[in-house]
Amino acid sequence: MPEDAGKSARPIRVLIVDDHPMVRDGIRSLLTSDPRFEVVGEASDGREAIERTEVAHPDVVLMDLRMPVLDGVSATREIVDRGLGTHVLILTTYDTESDVLPAIKAGATGYLLKDATRDELVRAVQAAASGESVLSPPVARRLLGQVRQPSNDTLSDREFEVLVLVARGNSNKDVAADLFISEATVKTHLLHLYAKLEVNDRAAAVAEAYERGLLTPGSEG
């Protein structure tokens, strides 16, 4: 078939990144048995993944998230930022919001869970190679859940300003001085943002804001 002929002309070049050798071996044997793919290397942490990507220029990096030295999200961000045309497909066991959102924000093209079938993995790598997003159903649900949050849960610009100042460690008095308003009004903004984030205090508000991806490392600085 012409389609297959086109694909076999140039296999999709894949870099496998995972700190567990058994996992890398499994993925490698799965992909090398298929002529549509070529495994161009392996890496066992995020730092190695960046180095191998620069050398091998894979079409797709299969990226684990939790790894020593440098985690998958940071490695994804660096790889995407370098603009080498490499697409990152996250392949992990974790599907919590705090895993999914940072990875997507870092520029991952897709997010697949390790319980994916062989066919799902094959399709996901093919899609990622052409820059199409692929999300495992539980991951898609998480993302949709984020988007579908009722609008009254969205922080106002002023509430966000207050949150950022609080995340920097400012007291209510400091925040009031910075925004040149009363402490009473700062407290009112805080109560509103606590309600929207479903928390009871400032520490939990900051933690929840990171969890939801409203704040990212650096945004509070």
Partner 1 sequence: MRPSPLDDSRLPEALSDVTEQWSEIAGVDAVVVTVGDRQPLRPEVEVTLLRVAQEALANVEKHAQASRVGVTLSFMDDSVTLDVRDNGVGFDRSAQTRSESYGLSAMGQRIEHLQGELHIESAPGDGTAISASVPADLIGVPHA
**Interface contacts to partner 1, rule CB under 8 A:** 152, 156-158, 176, 179-185, 188-189, 192
Burial class (CB in 10 A: 0-12, 13-18, 19+), 60: buried
Cα dihedral 204, 205, 210, 213 sign: positive
Query: Which is closer to partner 1, CB of 98 or CB of 185?
Result: 185
Query: Which is closer to partner 1, CB of 114 or CB of 187?
Result: 187
Closest contact distance (angstroms) between CB of 144 and partner 1 is: 24
Judge whether 165 and 175 are in contact, CB under 8 Å. yes
What whole-number distance in Å separates Cα of residue 48 and Cα of residue 151? 42
Query: Which is closer to partner 1, CB of 118 or CB of 173?
Result: 173
Closest contact distance (angstroms) between CB of 214 and partner 1 is: 18
**How far lies 91's CA from each of 11, 115, 128, 135, 202, in Å?**
20, 9, 12, 10, 34
Closest contact distance (angstroms) between CB of 177 and partner 1 is: 9
Closest contact distance (angstroms) between CB of 205 and partner 1 is: 17
Query: Which is closer to partner 1, CB of 126 or CB of 188?
Result: 188
